[in-house]
Amino acid sequence: GTGAGNDLYINQAIVFIEDAIQYRSINHRVDSKSLWLYRWYYSRTCQWILSLTITVILALAFVEEPSSLTITSDVRYRLPAWNPPCGLTESVELLCFLVFVVDVSVKSYLIGWKEFWKNKWLMAYILTLIVSLADWIVSLSFFCKESVRIRRILRPFFLLQNSSMMKKTLKSINSTLPEMASVLLLLAVHLSLFTMFAMLLFARTKDNQQDKEWVVYFRNLPDSLTSLLVLLTTANNPDVMIPAYSKNRAYSIFFILFTVLGNLFLMNLLTAIIYNQFRGYLLKSVQSSLFRRRLGIRAAFEVLSSLKETPASAQQSCVSVGALLQVLQKAEMDSRCKQAIMRSLKMCSCDQLSAAQFQKLFEELDKDAIKQHPPSPEYQSHFMQKMQFAFGHPYFGYLGNVVALANIISICVVLVMDADKQPSERDDFFLGAINCFFILYYLLEMLLKILAMGLKRYLSYPSNRFDGLLTVILLILEIATFAVYGFPHPGWRPEFMGLLSLWDMVRLVNMFIVFRFLRIIPNMKFMALVVTTLLDLVKNLRAFAGILVVVFYAFAITGIMLFKGAVVPLGNTSAANTTHDNGTLQCGTYEQLEYWPNNFDDFAEKNMISWCSAQAEIIYCLLYVFSVHLICRWAKIYFVAWWLISSVIWVNLFVALLLENFIHKWDRRCQRESLSDIEYQRTVELMFRDVLEEPTEEELMEKLHQHPHLHLCR
């Protein structure tokens, strides 16, 4: 090869190795200019700008009219919120769109036109951008007075298309849909049959006293369906049964049958189905990541082997160590891994590397990073050595925990004693004095630990960092309190001064002390296991959470569009509800339920409602409220859809993932226990290490030969 050809091969190898490290696909253009563009596109700055743009466009909803920039969301009290002038958010939006246009063009160019037509996500991306831009133009030409803004609903798509994890998860969820649909159909049949039964059972009778059940819950078909649907969420559980049960005990059989079949069997069947589908999900995804990594490394090997064909006749292709060193120096990777690979490359001392040796070198990437704490300082004096032994001993940590517990208990006692006192009767002396003592102890503990372990070793433990940070914050708060209000003394009850009153200061200190108590967690084995499981779960859940955010956002925006202004304060009810001329307010309207703050007038608000209804309780109230407001049909469908997606499907997905994660972790607990003093930086990949299958040489080569842009010589 020529010099330019060599440079191209080196660059290709660099990019392939970077792809392997990041688990990216290698199916992109491989000519010089494209490689430069590719590295630029995947550089930290570019990806950071893209993420920022997505965040900004999603966050716009909080600022846009109707904005959420008020302290309370109660329509009775809140002041009119500041609304940005027309054109401000729109210009920010345009900027974001321009970034997206650049993004989609670069992406499309890099994968090549032939691949582009196969990629539905990219096509959808372009379509979304076109629709958004068109909507933006319409919006500006109406001077922001148009009522429907489609582009708002489309926004979460930008988040979705940017994450390969989320796309993969969505595909998984998609494959579960047929079976979920079957269970939902079963649920629908269950619901409709029981509705008919209920309507026949609780029919109107001649005695008006007797048919309370009919009046309240089963007046007509939609009412009956709603009552039973809400019973399925257990939100109105005993209430719906009481009137009938009061008439005759036997009626309870109907409700018990309905709940057992619907709630206990069918709902849990949904969990079972989703868990069954997702059992292999994590493993499969880790397996495909591993394949991508091996493929990238193999591709790098292949391009490097065609660099200089030194032993031209040799059957086995191989790579010179010098070329690999050149590639390694230029590739962006974790410095620890780079050094480890360099080191083993020097130890190898051979000149040529075979494919197997090449792969073996890069196995360093898969290894655990063993975290080593810096050593303690070595003191000369005998006294200092004794001090070091005493305060570096775990028992000193346990003593700290006991003191923290004592502090918590003392706060608790004061809280119980002061619970019913008027603010003017309160004396902060006692709490101030004990807190002062405890905070001094915390400071002393921190200093002694630093003395025993040395600052570097002290800071290398996360629990110490947590501890130290809170101790420093507490110290600052305490000093500030003393500076403003003087030292505690009986009758220490000064009036409001400065930013916070003394009472607020003391409360803040107490909250930090309660929070600091969490330091006990790593000391309890089971708790530590649970907490690490939860943290792992959070990592694995990012994709799910992203999808939830997407759905949430779309629902919130739809909700705002549909129900904006549906809730009006009591004063101007007549102005808004012209169709609803019944003057008396029924039980359950906003006024009586005191649900004023829950309305659809802004975005944060809508999130709140969605959150609540995810908990399946508020649906009932809101359904009722909206049925009063005469837009009941749509609101009902809207809430039922939201309940199904958020509460039923998403919660089940979550449970499935938790089961999967936890069971893996639990099985491995015994093996790890012996090694518990070494802190591994565990990743999902490592959790599955023993069950993963290495891809075979044939699979890798077949995939490489299918590469649309790289044409290997052999």
Of the candidates 147, 174, 220, 579, which one interacts with a second copy according to CB under 8 A?
Answer: 220
- Is 468 among the residues that bind a second copy (CB under 8 A)? no
Alpha-carbon span 404 to 510, nearest angstrom: 12
User: Within positions 20 to 49, which residues make up the interface with a second copy, using CB under 8 A?
Assistant: none
Nearest-10 crossing angle of helices 603-614, 525-563: 120
Summary count for the chain: helices (H), strands (E): 33, 4
SS3 content of the chain, % helix, strand, coil (to 5): 70, 0, 25
Nearer to a second copy, 188 or 348 (CB): 188
26 C-beta neighbours (distance < 10 Å), count: 22
Alpha-carbon span 56 to 158, nearest angstrom: 11
Of the candidates 340, 451, 514, 554, which one interacts with a second copy according to CB under 8 A?
Answer: 514
- Is 560 among the residues that bind a second copy (CB under 8 A)? no
Of 175, 191, 244, nearest in space to 214 by CA: 244
- Is 540 among the residues that bind a second copy (CB under 8 A)? no
User: Within positions 171 to 190, which residues make up the interface with a second copy, using CB under 8 A?
Assistant: 179, 182-183, 186, 189
Q: Interface with a second copy by CB under 8 A: which range of 257-265, 556-564, 627-635, 695-703?
A: 257-265
Of the candidates 27, 289, 510, 610, which one interacts with a second copy according to CB under 8 A?
Answer: 510
Residue whose entry in the numeric block shows the structure tokens 């703050």: 597
With beta carbons less than 8 A apart as the criterion, state whether 73 and 605 touch: yes
Burial letters for 595-608: b for 16+ Cβ neighbours within 10 Å, e otherwise? bbbbbbbbbebbbb
- Is 422 among the residues that bind a second copy (CB under 8 A)? yes
Nearer to a second copy, 122 or 612 (CB): 612
Q: Interface with a second copy by CB under 8 A: which range of 36-44, 194-202, 558-566, 691-699?
A: 194-202
User: Within positions 639 to 658, which residues make up the interface with a second copy, using CB under 8 A?
Assistant: 651, 654-655, 658
Residue 668: CB minimum distance to a second copy, A:
12
Alpha-carbon span 143 to 432, nearest angstrom: 58
Token output for 270: 């949904």
- Is 55 among the residues that bind a second copy (CB under 8 A)? no
Alpha-carbon span 582 to 628, nearest angstrom: 10
With beta carbons less than 8 A apart as the criterion, state whether 440 and 515 touch: no
- Is 193 among the residues that bind a second copy (CB under 8 A)? yes
The DSSP code for 306 is T
Residue 526: CB minimum distance to a second copy, A:
4
Residue 324: CB minimum distance to a second copy, A:
45
Nearer to a second copy, 195 or 359 (CB): 195
Of 613, 623, 624, nearest in space to 588 by CA: 624
- Is 527 among the residues that bind a second copy (CB under 8 A)? yes
Nearer to a second copy, 530 or 692 (CB): 530
User: Within positions 279 to 338, which residues make up the interface with a second copy, using CB under 8 A?
Assistant: 279
Nearer to a second copy, 180 or 453 (CB): 180
How many residues touch a second copy (CB under 8 A)?
Answer: 98
Residue 541: CB minimum distance to a second copy, A:
10
User: Within positions 607 to 636, which residues make up the interface with a second copy, using CB under 8 A?
Assistant: 608, 611-612, 615-618, 621
With beta carbons less than 8 A apart as the criterion, state whether 100 and 130 touch: no
- Is 535 among the residues that bind a second copy (CB under 8 A)? no
Residue 608: CB minimum distance to a second copy, A:
6
DSSP string, 370-404: EE-PPPPP---SHHHHHHHHHHHSHHHHHHHHHHH
- Is 511 among the residues that bind a second copy (CB under 8 A)? yes
Residue 409: CB minimum distance to a second copy, A:
10
Q: What mask, x for binding a second copy by CB under 8 A, covers residues 485 to 504?
A: ------------------x-
622 C-beta neighbours (distance < 10 Å), count: 23
Q: Interface with a second copy by CB under 8 A: which range of 451-459, 506-514, 571-579, 681-689?
A: 506-514
Nearer to a second copy, 252 or 676 (CB): 252
Token output for 654: 């979550």
User: Within positions 232 to 251, which residues make up the interface with a second copy, using CB under 8 A?
Assistant: 234-238, 241-243, 245-249
- Is 205 among the residues that bind a second copy (CB under 8 A)? yes
Paired residues of 587 in beta bridges: none
3-state secondary structure (DSSP) of residue 616 = coil
- Is 80 among the residues that bind a second copy (CB under 8 A)? no
Q: Interface with a second copy by CB under 8 A: which range of 63-71, 85-93, 120-128, 575-583?
A: 63-71
Alpha-carbon span 64 to 43, nearest angstrom: 32
Alpha-carbon span 693 to 475, nearest angstrom: 54
Residue 414: CB minimum distance to a second copy, A:
10
| Residue 319, H or E segment | strand 319-320
- Is 254 among the residues that bind a second copy (CB under 8 A)? no
- Is 79 among the residues that bind a second copy (CB under 8 A)? no
Nearer to a second copy, 410 or 573 (CB): 410
Alpha-carbon span 124 to 116, nearest angstrom: 11
User: Within positions 380 to 409, which residues make up the interface with a second copy, using CB under 8 A?
Assistant: 408
Of the candidates 129, 353, 411, 477, which one interacts with a second copy according to CB under 8 A?
Answer: 411
Residue 408: CB minimum distance to a second copy, A:
7
- Is 63 among the residues that bind a second copy (CB under 8 A)? no
- Is 221 among the residues that bind a second copy (CB under 8 A)? yes
Of 302, 298, 297, nearest in space to 318 by CA: 302
Alpha-carbon span 599 to 606, nearest angstrom: 7
User: Within positions 82 to 101, which residues make up the interface with a second copy, using CB under 8 A?
Assistant: none
Of the candidates 67, 73, 161, 359, which one interacts with a second copy according to CB under 8 A?
Answer: 73
**Angle at the Cα of 289 (from 286 to 291), degrees rounded to 5?**
115
Nearer to a second copy, 165 or 537 (CB): 537
With beta carbons less than 8 A apart as the criterion, state whether 435 and 415 touch: no
C-alpha distances in Å from residue 465, one per residue of 358, 510, 522: 40, 20, 13
Nearer to a second copy, 48 or 666 (CB): 666
Residue 12: CB minimum distance to a second copy, A:
45
Amino acid in position 588: G
Nearer to a second copy, 32 or 205 (CB): 205
Phi first, then psi, for residue 370 (nearest 5°) are -85, 120
Amino acid in position 70: T
CB neighbours of 546 closer than 8 A, spacing ≥ 6?
159, 160, 163, 165, 166
Q: Interface with a second copy by CB under 8 A: which range of 21-29, 324-332, 434-442, 514-522?
A: 514-522
Token output for 139: 């919006």
